[in-house]
């Protein structure tokens, strides 16, 4: 689902609150009681704490807090995507920070399970808000200079309207559970092939064009033969392809397999495993084949949807996939529109 802006009245209230707090903060230097009041007001409007979810160790250095639900709701408070911690000799590296400051704070509470060292870097795999809105908590806990890495395009999208759109959409979807989350954009650019030496652990960045978005970055934990793939791959979940490409995704999968042979795949949604790529490749291949044929025949998106849903490679995944009934038609339609542009 693509995030949509909040209703105008709600947006005006939030903007008015923000301007009011800014004014109180500015006045605080001259009137300390106003600064204290502003701090109390911020605490008052913050969403509730997110219940603790323990880390699961998936390799020698990699630990994951798995999200049980793939879509944001009031009941899960936006806890919809995995958060990964890499334990290194120099400190902890976070791969995707979650969908709110409250989720980030929950992750920080669990860090003693992983290491007694501080967080020394964060990577954001792409610009969809469930993967970076938690940056706020890590900057608050570990300092404004904490390196936060992402592709340059991802950083630009977060700094622009897309960042605000995601912030507001999370508020709407969770009935204000994420209130208090600030937009903290990445402050370091990462490029394909970049290497990061953390003592006993080396991270390598991979980017092969548009897949889930134009600027997905996958992070290989070299010593552990495991790769954090963000939303380039998903485990039994329909991917949001509004910003993506079906042939681009298939190309990206090919390049990952060629350049990281025998890697285990750790997705942003679902559990790690070699089979994650097999599952997604089969689904995307079938959808793309039927979209291409319908576009070549000028048969329209309904024909692509019917043919793809009847294909065993697609139909066999319906029962086990979160969000299937509400989303599969839309995502086949997106494949058809992309194929139509290429005819």
Same domain, 171 and 242: yes
Query: How many structural domains comprise the chain?
Result: 3
Same domain, 206 and 332: no
The domain of 82 spans 56-273
Question: In the predicted model, what is the mean pLDDT of residues 84-93?
Answer: 98
CATH number for 126: 3.60.15.10
Same domain, 82 and 38: no
Same domain, 63 and 151: yes
| Predicted pLDDT of residue 40 | 52
Q: Would you call 123 helix, strand, or coil by DSSP?
A: strand
Q: Is 1 within a domain?
A: no
Angular region, 54: left φ>0, alpha ψ -120 to 50, beta rest? beta
For the stretch 161-204, pLDDT in tens is 999 999 999 999 999 999 999 999 999 999 999 999 999 999 99
Same domain, 26 and 111: no
Q: Is 3 within a domain?
A: no
| CA triple 216-161-324, angle to 5 deg | 55
Strands 119-123 and 148-150: parallel
For the stretch 43-55, pLDDT in tens is 558 999 999 999 9
Dist CA 221 CA 230 (whole Å): 13
Strands (E) located in 222-312: 226-230, 264-267
Nearest of 215, 227, 211 to residue 288 by alpha carbon: 211
Q: Is 251 within a domain?
A: yes
Same domain, 255 and 195: yes
Same domain, 99 and 193: yes
pTM assigned to the model:
0.87
Question: In the predicted model, what is the mean pLDDT of residues 54-80?
Answer: 95
For the stretch 231-267, pLDDT in tens is 999 999 988 899 999 999 999 999 999 999 999 999 9
For the stretch 293-330, pLDDT in tens is 999 999 999 999 999 999 999 999 999 998 899 999 99
Cβ burial of 52 (10 Å; 0-12, 13-18, 19+) is exposed
For the stretch 116-175, pLDDT in tens is 999 999 999 999 999 999 999 999 999 999 999 999 999 999 999 999 999 999 999 999
Dist CA 269 CA 267 (whole Å): 5
For the stretch 3-56, pLDDT in tens is 433 333 333 333 334 434 444 344 444 555 555 554 455 555 899 999 999 999
Q: Is 50 within a domain?
A: no
Same domain, 76 and 20: no
């Amino acid at each position: 689902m693509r995030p949509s802006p909040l209703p105008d009245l709600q947006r005006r209230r939030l903007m008015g609150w923000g301007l009011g707090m800014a004014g109180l903060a500015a006045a605080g230097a001259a009137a300390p009681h106003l600064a204290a009041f502003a701090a109390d007001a911020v605490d008052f409007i913050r969403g509730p704490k997110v219940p603790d979810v323990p880390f699961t160790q998936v390799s020698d250095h990699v630990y994951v807090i798995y999200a049980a639900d793939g879509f944001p709701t009031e009941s899960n408070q936006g806890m919809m995507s995995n958060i990964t911690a890499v334990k290194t000799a120099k400190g902890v590296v976070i791969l995707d920070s979650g969908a709110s400051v409250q989720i980030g704070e929950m992750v920080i509470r669990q860090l003693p399970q992983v290491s007694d060292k501080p967080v020394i870097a964060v990577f954001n795999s792409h610009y969809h808000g469930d993967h970076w809105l938690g940056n706020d908590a890590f900057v608050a806990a570990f300092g404004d200079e904490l390196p936060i890495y992402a592709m340059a395009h991802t950083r630009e999208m977060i700094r622009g309207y897309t960042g605000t759109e995601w912030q507001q959409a999370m508020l709407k979807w969770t009935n204000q559970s994420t209130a208090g989350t600030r937009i903290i954009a990445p402050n370091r650019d990462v490029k394909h092939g970049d290497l990061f030496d953390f003592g006993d652990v080396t991270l390598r960045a991979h980017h092969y064009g548009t897949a889930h978005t134009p600027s997905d970055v996958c992070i290989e934990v070299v010593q552990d033969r495991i790769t954090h793939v963000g939303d380039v791959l998903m485990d039994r979940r329909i991917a949001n392809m509004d910003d993506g490409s079906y042939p681009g995704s298939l190309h990206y999968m090919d390049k990952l397999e060629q350049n990281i042979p025998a890697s285990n795949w750790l997705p942003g949604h679902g559990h790690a495993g070699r089979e994650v790529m097999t599952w997604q490749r089969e689904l995307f291949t079938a959808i793309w084949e039927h979209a291409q044929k319908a576009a070549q025949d000028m048969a329209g998106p309904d024909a692509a949807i019917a043919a793809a849903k009847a294909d065993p490679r697609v139909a066999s995944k319906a029962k086990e996939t979160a969000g299937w009934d509400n989303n599969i038609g839309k995502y086949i339609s997106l494949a058809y529109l992309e194929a139509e542009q290429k005819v």
